[in-house]
Structure 1
Amino acid sequence: MTIREQVHAKLGALPGAEKKVAHAFLALYPSAGLSTIAELAKAAGTSAPTVLRFVTRLGFESYPEFQRALRDEVQAQMASPSPLERGRSTKSIQPDTPGLTTSFAGVAANLDATLKAIPESEFDAACELMSDPKSACYFLGGRFTDFIAGYMAAHLRIIRPNVRRFTGQTSTWHDQLLDMKPGDVVVLFDIRRYQTDLVRLGEILLERRARIVLITDPWLSPLARSAHVVLPCVVEAGRTWDSSVPLLALAEALIDRVSRRQWSNAQNRMQALEDIHWNKTPQQD
């Protein structure tokens, strides 16, 4: 497991002060972990001994050892290949197209790894944000993930009010921020290779005090710096393209949990939708 994966795995069980260090580390990855103990403690609003306890809990004997491992992780991330490079590499190793069984086995492995990478506490926190009836809920994804954002919005629009989806060109996103209030929730998808326009949008959302739920990969989009909740999915498929199946599976799990949390309201909205579909006129008292 990478250091980030270890932090995510332990997040739900960390004491309060150490959890602050974990959030600061994830939000400011990797710079927070490459800074001094004092600087990381200041960013987390804790003390140097708390940072050391956090590092020890991750299995490192000292802060320098932790930083060496982190530098190796960052170097590996920077070497992340493009789809073209992955395709060439895969073809040179295994020229034959993988069969259905092989592909499905890879998907199953990714789903299992994703389940282990996301703490239940973070999943619950995302569901709580998306269920907040006082806040609007916005959705947006990247080039290959925006369809999942749309899929979530289409379902949750039935479950709860004030569900919106960013649409159109990047230049129009600012227009769609005009009605956003502090505390509104924005669900963003961003996997490698990360989109600079989404990262910039995340910075603007943070300035407007929106609460961001980020669905990303194990390497973490730079959007993690702005996110309140980060849900990493394992997407590496050992082929030309990363897999979107774990992202979609997580999206469906979130939809299901929010539906259950909002059931009393959701069933009324569902009934109203059925009445509209069958062109029924509401009965007058």
Structure 2
Amino acid sequence: MTDYIEQDASRTVEFPMSETIASSKRPARPTVLATIGAFATRALLRIKHVPEQMFDVTLFPVIFLLMFTYLFGGAIAGSTAEYLQFLLPGILVMTVSQITMYTGIDLNNDIRKGIFDRFRTLPIWLPAALIGALLVDVIRYSIASIIMIGLGLLLGFRPEGGFIGVLGALVLILIFSFSLSWIWTALGLIVRSEKSLMMLSFLVMMPLTFISNVFVDPSTLPSWLQGFVSINPISILATAVRGFMHGTVTAEQIIWVLVVSVILTAIFAPFTMYLYRNKE
């Protein structure tokens, strides 16, 4: 290799060019699992340093359950205790579904702050940034579910399906919520602000939640509305969750939830990654 010559007023020094280059090896490229773990840890640290973002997971579900049970239980079912058996699985589905937007909100904040561009320049598997955040959201969903079920048991909720039924219901909710999160993640890459994303999620989730079987038996609704309720994804999930918790679930109910989850993931996960790679 050509020698490098350094000259000054009094001396000339010659040394090989190779000595000017670091001889140590480059760090190995991080594995996919390591990268996902790093971004998941980042999301967990964000919760640690901004704990108030957990209010939607801890406080609001409690308010919803108490308010709907004791304000509307007597009017709808004639008994708050009886209505609680019907309501809690539906409120659980509603609560977890409505907090699926947080990954999209966090991603939108990263874009506005410029962190997003830095991530795309790193020698990592690009989807890891999204998947790591989505996995932490699963933890958030689990916390909300545990709080809801714990409060329900204190109020008198008795799942006839037992522990296995409750566990099966939670697994089904987590699968569906993970697939639903891809929608808000894609929108987080499109909209200009987190307020816009929150407004869009509210406009979508509020009608889907209230025009469903979360709060009332569909048979009490007008016939023209029952058709929409029966194909509403929130209704499909709530039906299966009730079935699991009360020991009446059927294979068909489970399959429909899985089919909806696969369709949402198959459509919005690739679309999200396309937007992620081509975001300007």
TM > 0.5: no
Q: Which has the higher contact order (CA 8 A, sep 6+)?
A: 2
TM-score between the two structures when normalised by the length of structure 1: 0.28
Higher helix proportion (structure 1 or 2): 2
Larger radius of gyration: 2
TM-score between the two structures when normalised by the length of structure 2: 0.29
